[in-house]
Amino acid sequence: MQGDSCPFCRAAHVRFWFTMAVEEQSFKIARCMACGSAMVLPRPSQQEMDHYYQAHSYGDPTLELSLALDKSHFPDSSVDAKRIIQRLKALAPGKRFMDIGAGVGFFSREANSQGFEVTAVEPNPNSAAGFAALVGDSPLQMLLSGDIVDQYVQSQDVVLLSQVLEHICDVDGMLGALSSVLATGGIAAIAVPHFGSFLSRLQGKKDMYISPPEHVNYFSLAGLDALFDRHGFERVGFTTVTKVPRRSIGLVPWPLVYGILKLSEYFGKGMIINAYYRKR
């Protein structure tokens, strides 16, 4: 691992951090001393991924489960969606909107209602069924890869990736696809867990988002910027947000903790990064 380069900023300053055991598998977590991100390195093999996902029949939330999980956190996704779509209305050069990994459609629904022309992409069958029930429209049930990229070259003004990039081993492949489907001047809107957050610093190796092999990338803002810059994007907007389980809010000393976490947003140290990049 020593001497490996960072998958985000490409600096050769990656250092082994710790090993994380997940059931009978183990994954090495590394940190990049240049951009401050962390990642699973070496990347999990396809065999390790298959082993994990087969054991968990994962990523199959029904609409009811997705809604219940979403409502159990404050703020919920409808609040996030309103804020993000409003921001995109100001930034995007047009109305064509692609929602990658659309889930049950919280963001697509809001984008529709604010006048965007939405193309949603969601490979998981349960999520796709939930999407159809919530949004009233069916997503393309596939991954963003070859065929769909060819079909949609330079066709979009906005591409949204919410809670997607932290799962992707081949980040360069994903950024290439993203860039292909966006028109020049188009906006990539990104939401990922924030490895530079106050809470992440506090938790260290116990960071709740370090969950291989589901999450393989733990981005700092500098790491995310470097990745997008390398693929021809410049950052045009940034905010961080914090979400907490509702059941914890009533507990002492949670109001204090939540207050500190909310305050951390104002210093760019909230739990989730929302970043907006314009394709040059």
Q: Which residues bind Zn ion (CB under 5 A)?
A: 6, 8-9, 32, 34-35
What is the rounded CA–CA span in Å between residue 113 and residue 125?
24
- Least distance from Zn ion to the Cβ atom of residue 36, Å: 7
Per-residue tokens: 16? 């082994």
- Least distance from Zn ion to the Cβ atom of residue 229, Å: 12
Instruction: Name the residue nearer to Zn ion (CB basis): 61 or 196.
Output: 196
Instruction: Name the residue nearer to Zn ion (CB basis): 156 or 217.
Output: 217
Instruction: Name the residue nearer to Zn ion (CB basis): 32 or 216.
Output: 32
Per-residue tokens: 97? 């909107």
Q: Which of 105, 98, 86 is nearest to 157 (CA)?
A: 98
Instruction: Name the residue nearer to Zn ion (CB basis): 183 or 222.
Output: 222
Buried b (16+ CB within 10 A) or exposed e, 74-89: eebbeebbeebbebbe
Instruction: Name the residue nearer to Zn ion (CB basis): 31 or 96.
Output: 31
What is the rounded CA–CA span in Å between residue 133 and residue 136?
5
What is the rounded CA–CA span in Å between residue 247 and residue 72?
7
Helices (H), the chain: 46-56, 63-71, 77-91, 106-113, 125-135, 146-151, 171-181, 198-203, 221-230, 246-249, 254-266
Instruction: Name the residue nearer to Zn ion (CB basis): 34 or 41.
Output: 34
Question: Could you identify the residue written with the tokens 């929302």?
Answer: 274
